[in-house]
Amino acid sequence: MIVVLVLLSVLLMGALALARLTEVGTLAAGNASYREASIQASAVGMNTAYLAVRDLTNEDQSITGWYWSTMQATQGDDISNLNFDSAPELLVGNYRVRYVVDRLCNTAPVTNTLLQCLVKQIPQTESSKAGGESVDPPNARQFRVTVRVTGPKNTQTWTQGLVTKG
Q: pLDDT tens, 123-145?
A: 666 666 666 666 666 678 889 99
Pairing of strands 67-68, 139-150: unpaired
pTM of the predicted model, to two decimals?
A: 0.74
90-121 tens-digit pLDDT? 999 899 999 999 888 888 887 777 778 878 77
Q: CA distances (Å), 64 to each of 69, 78, 79, 151, 156, in order?
A: 11, 22, 18, 25, 23
What is the C-alpha separation between 139 and 127, in angstroms, rounded? Answer: 19
70-79 tens-digit pLDDT? 888 776 666 6
